[in-house]
Amino acid sequence: MQAILFYLTAVVAILSAFFVMKCRNPINSALNLVTTFLCLAVFYVMLESPFMAAVQIMVYAGAIMVLIIFVIMLLNLGLTVKTRYTHGLAAGGILSVMVLFVANYFTRAGEATGTGGSVTSELIASYGHTELIGRAMFVDFLLPFEIASILLLVAIVGAVVLSKRKV
């Protein structure tokens, strides 16, 4: 049963990713991107990490996509697309196939070792996924967390400086 769900969402994800890349009009590709994010959220749920799915939807689908659509609307890009909207198809195609092949082979090569980790599905069920993430984030990865916050600050300042008309 779970397998059917997996394959279904996988197909939807791949198709929507493909259309993100294929549609001529950026709005359509933006919407397709949203569907991709949703599919991914479903995958996260299947992987017993519901918190991640929620965060995924909130951050990606909610924040970033809205920002992108906002920018598309702001710049009124819709119809101005020129006839030839792609270039270097041959090179891009070959390269992406090679990337696919390499990435796939890469994952195949090594056997995913280290299965004996402490976090098992029963543990998640007992404590709840959010608590586990919270514990991990604020205990083991506290410093990276702080650095991430600084990164965001920098990004904000950068965005402001770049988009102001005259400093």
Partner 1 sequence: MYSNLWLIPFFPLVGSIFNGLFGKRIKNEAVIGGIATGMVFLSFLVAAQNFFKLLGDTEKVHELVIASWISIGNLQINWELLLDPLSAVMIMVVTGVGTLIHLYSIGYMHGEEGYYRFFCYMNLFAFAMLMLVLGGNALVMFIGWEGVGLCSYLLIGYYYEKKSASTAANKAFIVNRIGDFGFLCGLLTLFWALASKGVWTLNFVKIAESGHLLESGGLLITVVTLCFFLGATGKSAQIPLFTWLPDAMEGPTPVSALIHAATMVTAGVYMIGRMNGLFAMAPATMMTIAIVGGLTAFFAATIGLAQNDIKRVLAYSTVSQLGYMFLAMGVGAFSAGIFHLMTHAFFKACLFLGSGSVIHGLHHAYHHAHLHDDPQDMRNMGGLRKKMPITFITFLVSTIAISGIPLFSGFFSKDEILWWSFGSTRGHWMLWVLGAAAAGMTAFYMFRLVFMTFFGEQKTDARAKDHIPESPFTITIPLMVLGLLAVVGGYIGVPAILGGANRFHHFLEPVFGHALELNHIAAHGTHATEYTLMAISVAIAIVGIFIAWVMYVKDPELPAKFVGRFTAAHRVIFNKWYIDELYDFVFVNPCKKIGTFLWRGFDVRVVDGVVNGTAWVIKGLGAGLRYTQSGYLYNYAVAMVVGVVVIIGFYVF
Partner 2 sequence: MITVNHYMLLSAILFAIGTFGVLTRKNAIVIFMCIEVMLNSVNLTFIALSRHVGNMDGQIFVFFVMTVAAAEAAVGLALMIAFFRNRNSIDVDDFNMLKW
Sign of CA dihedral 56, 33, 5, 100: negative
d(CA 120, CA 117): 7
| Closest distance to partner 1 from the beta carbon of 86 (Å) | 10
In the region spanning residues 92 to 111, those forming contacts with partner 1, defined by CB under 8 A, are 92, 95, 98-99, 102-103, 105-106, 109
Q: Is residue 106 packed enough to be buried (19+ CB in 10 Å), middle (13-18) or exposed (0-12)?
A: exposed
Task: Name the burial class of residue 51, with classes exposed (0-12), middle (13-18) and buried (19+) by CB atoms within 10 angstroms of its CB.
Answer: middle
142 scored as a contact of partner 2 (CB under 8 A): no
Q: Taking CB under 8 A as the criterion, which residues in 88-117 touch partner 2?
A: 88-89, 91-93, 95-97, 99-100, 103-104, 107-108, 112, 114-117
Q: Pick from 17, 50, 54, 57: which binds partner 2 (CB under 8 A)? A: 17
For residue 81, the minimal CB distance to partner 1 (Å) is 17
- Does 84 bind partner 2 (CB under 8 A)? Our answer is yes
Toward partner 1, which CB reaches closer, 17 or 31?
Answer: 17
Query: Roughly what angle, to the nearest 10 degrees, separates helices 26-46 and 2-22?
Result: 160
The alpha carbon of 44 is separated from its chain's Cα centroid by a whole number of angstroms, namely: 11
If binding is defined by CB under 8 A, does position 68 make contact with partner 2? Answer: yes
Instruction: Give the footprint of partner 1 on this chain (CB under 8 A).
Output: 87-88, 91-92, 95, 98-99, 102-103, 105-106, 109
